[in-house]
Structure formats: structure tokens, C-alpha cells
Amino acid sequence: MRAASVSDYRELARRRLPKMFFEYIDGGSYAEATLGRNVADLEAIALRQRVMRDMTKLDMSIETLGQQLSMPVGLAPVGMAGMYGRRGEVQAAKAAAAAGVPFCLSTVGVCSVEEVAAAGVAPWFQLYMLKDRGYMRDLVARAKDLGSPVLVFTVDLPVPGARYRDVRSGFTGSSGLSGALNTAWDGITHPAWLWDVWAHGRPHTLGSVAGALQQGRRVTDFLSWIAKNFDRSVTWRDLDWVRETWDGPIVVKGVLEADDARDAVRAGAQGLVVSNHGGRQLDGVRSSISALPRIADAVGCDLEIYMDGGIRSGLDVLKALSLGAKACFVGRAWAYALGAGGEAAVTRMLGTLRSELAVAMILTGCGSVAEAGRDLLDHDLAIAKE
């Protein structure tokens, strides 16, 4: 199958990846209600078609936090991407750099921040706050010294959400001989992945935090250690602690309420990501797109507002811009593409988003993404649930 859309890359990734890794990318927490809302609420938004306008010139570029982007899209942090493609974070970072958009490296990426930076462009760096503050301070300093331009502080994961798919697939909770045999069979029955990632994509560790774990070297060992070391005590005051090491822009990721957005402003953040962690944390909360307008109205003049969750096309990007986002970050979309075909597929996926965004802009009469506003939306139909 030749992929024409993000859903096509999803299907190709499902075929190529072992079940446990595909389900880890694809799934959400509990009954996955919020995961579904992220997509459904975007689909429910209607654009206004406008005609007979000179759309010869289109401007999809933006400037944000000192970065010049070719379009208002970035690659969101995705954990363990190196298990979907050989040294996956490096491949995705190269595709993003070629497209002129940012790549944000997860704390729990297989490739370290040093490896990704050595591949060409220092990534935005995503920080989870762990209990070992000394190690976290050193990690932030490493990212800073390598030239990472933005720190993305994820605040909606003081504890991992319950993800039933991971239990059913054997990704978590699997032990003993039967678990080992199931894991081995999952790999053997996916030979392309086995050759590309398992045989030639080592080491399979979480590179940026490898030095913090003294025993065990498998990815599952790292994940178990990290799950036990997420810090539930984190408050807004901890941004001052981060500032002791990091003097660049800080983006707070994981905000769904206007009051929390105002707290982010008071804490001195330069940006925030309206996000429910892709429906992977607290199930039953509102979609990111439905939370976006209230947050944009509350703090849109005070910092940069981004959004992730449910973005599957360039049309979705324009809808989010119309409701107040400066840019959108895609997570599953690039993870699917990476799992489907590595760097080349991520490059094609980004090209698809760009083409879709261009068509949407032309047919709504929007010549510049900087001009995208709520006048692009059909208010007689559902926009965002209040």
C-alpha cells in the first residue's frame, strides 16, 4: 500500500511493528474516551469555504521562541521511538530538520540528546521531572550545552496512566517463560522490524537517562525504573529550580484548564502546549481542541500557545490555528510514519501535512497562517464543546 494519509501510515506501522510496540503507540488510557475525543472533536469542526480570492501567494511560515519554522507544525516528544525504527529519534530529527520544523526529543527516547544533536540539529528537549534531581539537573545542563533551543517541561505525568492495551499486548506486566516466549514470537513474526531495529538498532536503552539506572539494561527495565521515579511533589515553584540551570525558553506541556494556563504565565513560562498527553493519562477529560479556545482567550497575549492531540491532517492544523494555537505538534502521526518506513516516510508525512494545509488555506481564503482566526470556521456547526 502506498501511504496517502496519516491513517495509511498507521496501517503500515500496524503491519510492520510487533504488536506490543504498535499498541504502545496507538493506545490510550483506560477506556480511551479522551483518545477518541481528540480526533472526533477536530472532525466536528467545520471550515468555511471561500471562493474567488487571489490565493497566488501563501505564507505558512511562523516565528516562535526565536525559531523560524517553515510551517506551524512540530514533532512532539514520543517515547521509545528507537523501537519503531532503527535509531528512530535520529531519523525523525533529520526529517524534521529537512522540513524546517522542530523535533522535540523525549526524556525517554532510545537515542540520547547527544546522539540526536550529533546528527545535525539540536532538538527541543522534553523534560519529565524525576525524583533524582541531581541527575535531572545534569540532564538539563547537557541539553543546554548541546544547543537545544527550547525546554518542554511536561507536567501531566506525575504518575503513568493505566493503559490496558499495554497489559493485553504483554508490553507491561508480562514475566516468566510465557512472557519471554510471547515477546520472542512477536518479534520473529515481524522479520523486517527484527532485522532493522532488533538486530541493527542497538543499544536498546533510554539513552538520555541511561546513567541513572545501575542495574538492568533493557528498555522495560528503564521504563519500570522511571515509573517508580516520577515525582508527584512537583509544583509551579519547580520552574525556579529549572531556571537555575536553564536560561532559555520554557514551554509547559500538559495544560487543559485556563487557571493552570494563568499559573504558567505567573511562573514565567514562555509557552504552553494545550495537551491531554494524547489521551494517555487521565481518561474522561476534554479533548485538546475543545480546551484550546478558553486557554487562548485567557493567556493568548501573554505567551506562545501550541496544541497537540488528535492532529491527523493539515486541515486539523488550520482548525487549531483558527482557535488560537500558534503551532501544532504531532506525535502519533510521525511515530506511525517512522514505524512504517523510517526517515523517508516521516519526510513524506510532513510533506502531506504541508500540502493539506496549503489546500485548506486556499479554499478558506487564508493567505497567511498568521491571519488564521475564528472567521475561518462555520459557527453554525460544532466548533468546540464548552
- Would you list the domain boundaries of the chain? 6-164+226-371
Tell the residue number behind the cell numbers 541513572, with chain if given.
212
Distance CA 189, CA 204 (A): 19
Residue closest to 201 by CA, chosen among 183, 187, 222:
187
E strand or H helix that includes residue 24: helix 19-26
**What confidence tens digit (pLDDT) does each residue in 301-321 have?**
999 999 999 999 999 999 999
Q: CB-based contacts of 228: which residues, under 8 Å, 6+ apart?
A: none
- β-bridge partners, 64: 67
CATH superfamily of 6-164+226-371: Aldolase class I (3.20.20.70)
Q: How much is the pLDDT for 172? A: 79
> Of 113-122, 223-232, 295-304, which gets the smallest average pLDDT?
223-232
From the candidates 190, 200, 277, 379, give the one annotated as an active-site residue.
277
Q: State the Cα–Cα distance between residues 85 and 336, nearest whole angstrom.
A: 10
Known catalytic membership, residue 277: yes
What pLDDT does 206 receive?
Answer: 87
> Which distant-in-sequence residues (6+ apart) come within 8 Å of 195 by Cβ?
none
Check if the beta carbon of residue 9 is closer than 8 Å to that of residue 184. Answer: no
Q: What is the mean pLDDT of the chain?
A: 93
Report the percent of the chain where pLDDT is more than 70: 93
Alpha carbon distance 276, 282 (integer Å): 8
| Confidence band of 179 (pLDDT split at 50, 70, 90) | low
Q: Predicted confidence band at 211 (pLDDT cuts at 50, 70, 90)?
A: confident
What average pLDDT does the segment 188-202 reach? 94
The pLDDT of residue 227: 73
**Measuring CA to CA, how many Å separate 145 from each of 97, 123, 199, 225, 243?**
19, 12, 32, 26, 15
Specify the pTM: 0.95
pLDDT at 353 over 90: yes
**pLDDT value for 176:** 56
Interatomic CA distance for residues 305 and 326, integer angstroms: 6
